[in-house]
């Protein structure tokens, strides 16, 4: 495996379900990110981790809970979601948080909340 | 507030040239990125500008004017595979990336 991988690619869940999204990067990067992408809207940064430590939480509702056990893995735990949470959830990584570092994105998880 | 503006959609002809504009108002500036995103796929990095001027990379070039809060992505010799969304993003004074909503580029034969 190379680059940034995400599983599952598609997820349909009810509002009472609990599920988790997984992201893994094989690039040796130290920073990882969760984004939400809704149709025709800008990417919304949700969480940032640097060397496994959370550095940003952009006022994300508590029904989204991130976990970063090591620099290569990132999880997003979901519970009691709302239909408006349906979106593409993208994971990304970068070498560091430095301004010139590009971010490498995974293919995303298409989430549908019924 | 912070804002990135890009046209929602543009159409161009195969073999032609197209310029996608991006204007920004952010709290500070620490670089501007352009990404390409094909439908159903991950965004991929195209270019990075931090100083004024033109950066050329093959058929793609990116221009920045910090005083005007303006950038453009220039695509030459358009190919059908260039049909995609093009995302502009600015890193602000807190080193956060502020993203535009993207420009959907449609290439016609």
For A18-54, what is each residue's pLDDT tens digit? Answer: 999 999 999 999 999 999 999 889 999 999 999 888 8
Q: Among residues A95, A114, A102, A100, which one has the least CA distance to residue A16?
A: A114
3-state class (DSSP) for residue A102: coil
User: CA neighbours within 13 Å on the CB side: how many for A42?
Assistant: 16
Q: Quick one: average pLDDT of A8-27? A: 94
B106/A contact by beta carbon, under 8 A: no
Q: Report the pLDDT value the prediction gives residue A66, as an integer from 0 to 100.
A: 96
Select the residue of A4, A45, A106 nearest B97 (Cβ to Cβ).
A45
Q: Quick one: average pLDDT of A67-90? A: 95
Select the residue of B8, B42, B101 nearest A105 (Cβ to Cβ).
B42
> Which of the 8 DSSP states describes residue B41?
S
Assess contact for A94 and A114: CB atoms under 8 A.
Answer: no
Q: Which of the four pLDDT bands, split at 50, 70 and 90, describes residue A65?
A: very high
Q: Report the pLDDT value the prediction gives residue A52, as an integer from 0 to 100.
A: 86
Q: Report the pLDDT value the prediction gives residue A1, as an integer from 0 to 100.
A: 55
Geometric angle at alpha carbon A46, from B47 and A98, rounded to 5° = 40
Prior bond of A8 cis (ω within 30°): yes
Give residue-wise pLDDT tens across range B26-51. Answer: 999 999 999 999 998 899 999 999 99
Gap between the Cα atoms of A107 and A21, Å rounded:
12
Assess contact for B14 and B29: CB atoms under 8 A.
Answer: no
């Amino acid at each position: 495996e190379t680059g940034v991988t995400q599983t599952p690619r598609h997820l349909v869940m009810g509002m009472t379900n609990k599920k988790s999204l997984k992201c893994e990067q094989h690039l040796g990067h130290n920073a990882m990110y969760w984004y939400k992408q809704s149709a025709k809207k800008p990417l919304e940064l949700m969480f940032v981790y640097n060397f496994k430590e959370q550095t940003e939480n952009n006022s994300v509702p508590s029904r989204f809970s991130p976990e970063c056990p090591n620099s290569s893995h990132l999880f997003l735990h979901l519970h009691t979601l709302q239909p408006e949470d349906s979106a593409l959830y993208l994971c990304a990584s970068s070498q560091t948080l430095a301004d010139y570092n590009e971010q490498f994105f995974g293919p995303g998880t298409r989430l549908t909340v019924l | 507030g912070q804002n990135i503006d890009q046209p929602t959609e543009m159409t161009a002809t195969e073999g032609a040239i197209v310029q996608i504009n991006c204007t920004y108002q952010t709290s500070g500036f620490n670089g501007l990125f352009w990404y390409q995103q094909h439908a159903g796929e991950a965004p991929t990095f195209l270019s990075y500008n931090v100083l004024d001027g033109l950066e050329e990379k093959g058929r793609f070039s990116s221009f920045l004017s910090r005083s005007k809060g303006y950038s453009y992505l220039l695509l030459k010799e358009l190919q059908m595979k260039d049909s995609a969304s093009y995302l502009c993003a600015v890193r602000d004074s807190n080193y956060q990336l502020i993203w535009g909503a993207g420009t959907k580029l449609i290439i016609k034969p």
